[in-house]
Amino acid sequence: MTFKRKATPFAVLTAAALALTACAQSDRDDSGSDSGSTSGGGSSTFTFGAAGAPKVMDPFYATDGETFRVTRQMFEGLVGIKAGSAEIEPELAEKWEPDASGTNWTFTLREGVKFHDGEPFNADAVCKNFERMFDQNPAGQVAAEYWAGTFGAFKAKAAESLYKGCEAKDEKTVVLSVTRPTSGFPTFLSLDSLSMQSPKAMDAGKANDVVAQGEGFVYPAYSKAGVGTGPYKLEKYDEANKTVTLVRNDDYWGEKAKNAKVVFKIIPDESTRRQELEAKSINGYDLPNPADWKGLESAGNKVEIRPAFNVFYLGLNPTKNPKLTDLKVRKAIYQAINREELVKTQLPEGAKVATQMMPDTVSGYNKSLQPVAYDPAAAKAAIQAAGGLTLTFAYPSEVTRPYMPNPQKLYQAMAGDLEAAGIKVNTVTKPWNGGYLDGVDANAFDAFLLGWTGDYDSAHNFIGTFFGSLDANNFGLTKQAFGKTLAADLAKADSTVDEAERTAMYEKINQQIQEEYLPALAISHSPPALVVGEGVEGVVASPLTAEEFSGVTVGGK
Amino acid sequence: MNPSPMDPRPSAKKDRIDSLAETSGRGGTATAVKDVHVGAAGKVKDTGGVSLIASAWARLRRNPVFLLGLAITVVFVLLALFAPLLAPNDPTKRMPELLEDLSRSTNPVPGPEAGFPLGSDDFGRDLLSRLIVGARQTLIVGVFATLFGLAGGIILGTLAGAFGGWVDSLVMRIVDVMLSVPSLLLAVSIAALAPRPSQWTVIIAIAVVQVPIFARLLRGSMLAQRASDHVLAARALGVKQSSIVFRHMLPNSLGPVIVQSTLVLATSIIDAAALSFLGLGNPDDRQPEWGQMLGASQQWIRDYPHLAFYPAACIIVVALGFTLMGESLREALDPKSRR
Amino acid sequence: MLRFIVRRLVQMVGVLIVLSLLLFLWLRSLPGGTVSAILGERATPASRAAMEAQFGLDQPVWVQYAKFVGRVLQGNFGPSTAVLPGRDALDIFLQRLPATIELSLFALAIAVALGIPLGYFAARRKETFLDNASVVGSLIGVAVPVFFLGFLLQRVFAIELGWLPVSGRQSTGLDATRITGFFVLDGILTREWDAAWDSFKHLILPAVTLATIPFAVVFRITRASVLEVLDEDYIRTAESKGLTARIIRGRHILRNAMLPVTTTIGLQVGALLAGAVLTETVFGFAGVGDALATAFRLRDYAVLQVLILAAAGIYVIVNLLVDIMYAVIDPRVRTR
């Protein structure tokens, strides 16, 4: 162990490093070295802290909020969403009109729109997009969840699909045909997944070549570099440093983005995101923990509370517990829960006790309904009259949802209330991805905690998703006497073309669900939030969490 | 999870385990150790005269580090035993007085008030009572994790040490597979893969990590015992193999294992906190446990750091107590360090 | 020697094969998993079944394992589902590895730079306040949970003082060139000094956090072996010869005490890898540990398998290297 012997490897290393240096070239672009958010004059950067990495850069195969937050800045659909609301507005289509049957819709397209690669956006491009989405291979059919969730089926089962065809009438007129009228169309064309993408780039990158392998999908080259029409385009996804950089699209058809760049920095740890904001190295982050809202505000940040577009419910499933087919029992469970206290002590500011299974921002919401009152005495009496009740009551671990910030605490509060009403509770807990969702699907629990965040403004997207299918639901509706009627009523409302008539039908169904059916107990609506630092203006909180960052300014510029 | 401060070297683990086993396995028999000074007990010859334990105790009695560790441990165990009597309130109950003040949006963690010197947790329960009763659950996690690890280790170690030959090889290969996954990964995997997380999955996850360590340790000293005079004598007298193993070899090999146990107690408490931090702890927090309290406090750490500070301080002090005690024990039992 | 190495390599392959089988069976025996993680609330029995059929999860587990092995033999470890969807799991491991190595090496450097001198002085002044305080201090360092320590360091050095960045590997606006994936090295190689300096600053806080445990080990081993050496006859001889304190310290004490210390340092790799899971999560550091935590949370089985097997493989290789090193350093082992 002399120093001489030790020195040899160092010498070798140094020599190797020098040799490498000789061939290592900086490929840095000199113009792109502006750093930070301080420089004004349109070259500034908006840096946003994300909790997770975007999955693909082709929104068609994306399913999660972390991905959509990024793709939303780069892509646009025919139909857009009005900032700060759930209402739709024209985007790439200037207007649309149905024919009398409600199945053929004529879209008039915006002129002068170009994709990021310079390709023109026109009727032809629209039809190519829809044909592309419709014509998926078996793996793609599974990967493209939002198409499956809205249009139902793909080309392979064309008869079952809502999509019928697309016809380019002229350069700026396109007719989209559906097989039957439905309440969701064309509203759901505002979904990020159904955005318009450059046909040329999709062809070049073999956008449809998804392969299922092992337990995952292998995506084609295009999925790493999607090309849209939005105010920003992808500059770089630096995987080694977990940052996504978007750069302003200077040929954007509308008002150009205020910041030259938007950077998404991926920071998985909640408390680290907050530290970053306080160190001013990011300008904002999504879904701050409700526990932090107060502290964040008092430190000068702005917590933008989004209108709640979700519902948190206690699902009941009579499959293994026939007593739950008794409306009196279900109602007693509802009365036993002190929801006022729950909302006050465990849910964030702006949370509300629910009166029905959808939030008030959705058309079809029944304003006349009152919350079922907390009445432990009545509950106790009803349970006794029913000869007692034992409930297998489940809650998920390893998860937080905007509607359910802390499942365990919420569960404990409710389970305590149920026990006080004389119900015997068997607690079951499973990891969200490790048995809980499976268990709910497999009717394994009598009672469970779950919720739903709406995808677009439609009653069908809420109660239709819950109760619209007699066979595929989590509430054992085949065992409930009302199940068939409810599903049929929902289907009927969904296919009603006249909007006023449809809204009235949904209001009635909501009333029946609350007063006669109670397949699930609506608990609350909790608003998610996002937070931005001092001096950040122009972030409009969206109930659909569909914030666009092109109008954001940093530091008063 | 912090791997044990004693054996964070995954593979030095092996060497240290083996050398520790050797030293104390031979401790009672004649080893060619030169005369050594032994603290206040005066000059003692280590050549079989005074038993290792007696001389170790003589040294320990005067060792302030050991006494500090012992004091902490005793206080902790007493606290755990009498926790329900000492806690002013029911730690599982949401106290109406605290619930009244609790509001998620304006006052998520009510501070101290009459009858609740440390205030509330974020669910309207008495923080002080939870800390006190938490001592008991913490001790349970520590003790059971250690016991399970010990039991697994004893089974494997005894098999290997008692029979030698191909049994030894087989068992040691199993132990090698277990050692080949870094301890944290092993514990996290087990906790993450358990179909139903609970306090027991935490205990088992921590215990499994300890099994190979105990096994190697025990095997080492058993092998030393196999060659020792009293075992040879027993064998010559025709004593049955099973009673040689259980009457002679095993009891004489347990020394280093017991020392290791005190250290494992400390690390398992820290490990439980780490699992909770990663969201793999016991999801049911009705029965408080310090590691879990600490893990759950993470979301409040910025605005209500006391929720993290109290359990963290408790864990650090107790872990320190066990470690100081265990380390002094080990030093005292190691003939080489007796100077 | 060669035979010894070959035998160990064969054993290692055996261990890894057994481990891969156990892991595979274990993961498949659990409910939920990937499909739940992908579908979330939108899962219906129909969509679940369709996805399971696509992934072949409806087939018997031995068929799945055979397919898995078939793919692995072609160098294909299966696409990730959550960490970087679609990317081969092995690619993810290789992409993340430099970050973890960079972090670990720096942490190790800190541990050694502090641990050896402190251990030496603690031993020279045994049972003084300095000794006791450093023993207790090193234990406290180990007992403080990583996320707590990380939070405090971020708070003080990144927010209050503003000297260092909170998290990540590099500032976002730098647009630095990547060659090796070791950011500091890349900065030096391409002479982008600002990038190298920036990456280095990003390393400091996580490395200090990660260093607490190896520091405690190095400190204790140094202390113990210096104590041992101090008692040796040749030190007394050296003292009686009237050699200066400096020569005694350099030539006799440190050189002899360093042997166990150097071997210990080599053995820290596994502990650093394990510690990286927590540290990288807290510091948003895109390394292997961060990938592992994400893969656990989102049930990304392909990535989990590769990372656990790789961790085991690294451990086994390091062990082998250490044993070989022993044989090279210590002639007594060589003769065996």
Give the residue with greater pLDDT, A260 vs A270. A260
Cis omega (within 30 of 0) for bond into A186: yes
Are B99 and A341 a contacting pair at CB < 8 A?
A: yes
Please, which residues have CB within 8 angstroms of residue C161's CB and are 6 or more apart in sequence?
none
B166 domain residue, yes or no: yes
DSSP reduced 3-state for A425: strand
Per-residue confidence (pLDDT) for residue B336, from 0 to 100: 52
- Type of residue found at A472: A
- C86 with A216: CB under 8 angstroms? yes
Using the beta-carbon criterion (under 8 Å), do B108 and A274 form an inter-chain contact? no
Note the pLDDT tens digit of each residue in C100-126.
Answer: 989 998 999 999 999 989 998 888 887
Instruction: Give the pLDDT confidence score for residue B47 in this predicted structure.
Output: 44
DSSP A441-494: HTT--SEEEEEEE-SSS-HIIIIIHHHS-SSS-SS-GGGSTTHHHHHHHHHHHH
> Is residue A536 scored above 70 in pLDDT?
yes
The torsion defined by the Cα of C151, C157, C160 and C161, in degrees rounded to 10, comes to 180
Type of residue at C148: F
Nearest neighbour of A397 by CB, restricted to B94, B197, B303: B197
pLDDT, average across residues A69-89: 93
pLDDT for position A381: 95
Give the Cα separation of B124 and B139 in Å (integer).
25
Q: Which of A274, A289, A345 to mutate to test the interface with B (most CBs of B within 10 A)?
A: A345
Tally of structural domains, chain B: 1
Instruction: Provide φ and ψ at A393, rounded to 5°.
Output: -115, 120
Query: What is the side-by-side order of every strand in the sheet holding A261-266?
Result: A232-238, A243-248, A261-266, A45-50, A284-286, A529-532, A302-305
Q: Which residues of A, range 388-447, sit inside 8 Å of C by Cβ?
A: 398, 430-439, 441-442
Q: Could you say which of B184, B279, B308 has the minimum Cβ distance to residue C277?
A: B184
**DSSP β-bridge partners for residue A553:** A537
Task: Look at residue B22 and tell me if it is in a domain.
Answer: no
Q: For residue A210, which phi and psi values (nearest 5 degrees)? A: -85, 140
Tokens coding C295: 């893969």
Decide if B203 contacts B194 (C-beta within 8 A).
no
User: What DSSP state is assigned to residue A221?
Assistant: G
Question: Looking at the predicted structure, is the pLDDT value of residue A322 above 90?
Answer: yes
Maximum mean pLDDT: which of A61-75, A281-295, B249-263? A61-75
Distance CA A353, CA B129 (A): 32
Other beta carbons within 10 Å of C128: 12
What pLDDT is attached to residue A205? Answer: 93
Q: Which residues of C touch A276 (CB under 8 A)?
A: 166-167
Q: What domains sit in chain C, N to C, each tagged with a CATH number? A: 95-300 (1.10.3720.10)
Q: Is residue B36 assigned to a domain?
A: no
* Chain centroid offset of residue A518 CA: 26
pLDDT tier for residue C334 given thresholds of 50, 70 and 90: very low
Q: Quick one: average pLDDT of A437-444?
A: 90
Q: Provide the ipTM.
A: 0.85
DSSP secondary structure string for all residues of B35-53 = PEEEGGGEEE-TTTTS-HH
CATH code of the domain covering residue B228? 1.10.3720.10
Q: What is the pLDDT of residues C203-247, one digit of tens each?
A: 999 999 999 888 888 888 888 888 878 877 787 788 888 778 777
Closest chain C C-alpha to B11 CA, distance in angstroms = 6
pLDDT: is B91 or C11 the higher one? B91
User: Which is more confidently placed, A166 or C251?
Assistant: A166
H, E, C per residue of chain C: CHHHHHHHHHHHHHHHHHHHHHHHHHHHHCCCCHHHHHHHHHCCHHHHHHHHHHHCCCCCHHHHHHHHHHHHHCCCCCECCCCCCCCEHHHHHHHHHHHHHHHHHHHHHHHHHHHHHHHHHHHHCCCCHHHHHHHHHHHHHHHCCHHHHHHHHHHHHHHHCCCCCCCCCCCCCCCCCCCCCCHHHHHHHCCCHHHHHHHHHHHHHHHHHHHHHHHHHHHHHHHHHHHHHHCCHHHHHHHHCCCCHHHHHHHHHHHHHHHHHHHHHHCCHHHHHHHHHHHHHHCCCCCHHHHHHHHHHCCCHHHHHHHHHHHHHHHHHHHHHHHHHHHHHCHHHHCC
pLDDT for the residue numbered A5:
42
pLDDT of residue A372: 93
Cβ of C136 within 8 Å of Cβ of B320? The answer is: yes
Tell me if B109 is assigned to some domain: no
pLDDT tops 50 at residue A7: no
Q: What's residue C25's pLDDT?
A: 83
For strands A243-248 and A310-316, give the pairing: unpaired
pLDDT, tens digit, 9 for 90 and up, residues A209-256: 999 888 889 999 999 999 999 999 999 999 888 999 999 999 999 999
* DSSP-derived pairing of the beta strands A88-90 and A310-316: unpaired
Q: Which of A441, A431, A426, A428 is nearest to C30 (CA)?
A: A431
3-state secondary structure of A245: strand
Q: In chain A, what percentage of residues exceed pLDDT 70?
A: 92
A contact test, residue of B97, B286, B302 with most A CBs within 10 A? B302
What angle separates helix B250-277 from helix B306-333, to the nearest 10 degrees?
160
User: Stretch A264-278: mean pLDDT, rounded?
Assistant: 90
A51 vs B55, residue with greater confidence: A51
Residue range C127-145: mean pLDDT, rounded: 79
- The CA R_g of chain A, rounded to the nearest whole Å, is 26
From the list C19, C26, C322, which residue is nearest B177 (CB)?
A: C19
With an 8 Å Cβ cutoff, are B285 and A408 in contact?
A: yes
**Residue for token pair 């997770």:** A52
B185 touches chain C (CB under 8 A): yes
Touching subunits of B (3+ CB pairs, under 8 Å) are A, C
What residues have CB less than 8 Å from B162, skipping those under 6 apart? B222, B226, B241, B245, B249
Domain, as residue range, for B275: 62-85+117-337
Decide: C107 and C211 in contact? Cβ < 8 Å.
yes
Write out the two tokens for B278. Answer: 């990663």
Closest chain C residue by Cα to residue A33: C174
What band does A545 get if pLDDT is binned at 50, 70 and 90?
A: confident
Kind and range of the H or E element at B291? helix B290-296
pLDDT at B148: 94
Q: Which of C30, C31, C271 sits opposite B10 (nearest CB)?
A: C271
* Residue C5 to residue B39: CA distance in whole angstroms: 46
Residue B48 lies in a domain: no
Q: What does the block give as tokens for C82?
A: 């959550």
From the list A26, A55, A281, the residue facing C85 with the nearest CB is A55
3-state secondary structure of A393: strand
pLDDT value, residue B1:
38
> Would B220 be classed as within a structural domain?
yes
- Dihedral sign (CA C302, C305, C309, C310): positive
Does any domain span residue B52?
no
| pLDDT at A330 exceeding the cut of 90 | yes
B165 CB within 8 Å of a chain C CB: no
Q: pLDDT digit of tens for each residue in chain B (339 aa)?
A: 333 333 333 344 455 555 545 444 433 333 333 333 333 333 444 444 456 667 777 878 888 878 888 999 999 999 999 988 888 888 888 888 888 888 877 788 888 888 899 988 888 889 999 999 999 988 999 999 999 999 999 898 888 877 777 787 778 777 776 776 666 667 766 776 666 667 888 899 889 888 888 887 788 777 777 777 888 888 888 888 888 888 777 777 777 777 778 778 888 888 887 777 777 777 777 788 898 888 888 778 888 889 988 998 898 889 888 888 887 887 777 655 444
In angstroms, the CA C294 to CA C93 distance is 13
Q: Output B13 or A56, whichever has higher pLDDT.
A: A56
Structure tokens at A74: 């780069």
pLDDT band at C41 (very low <50, low <70, confident <90, very high): confident
Higher pLDDT, A196 or C273: A196
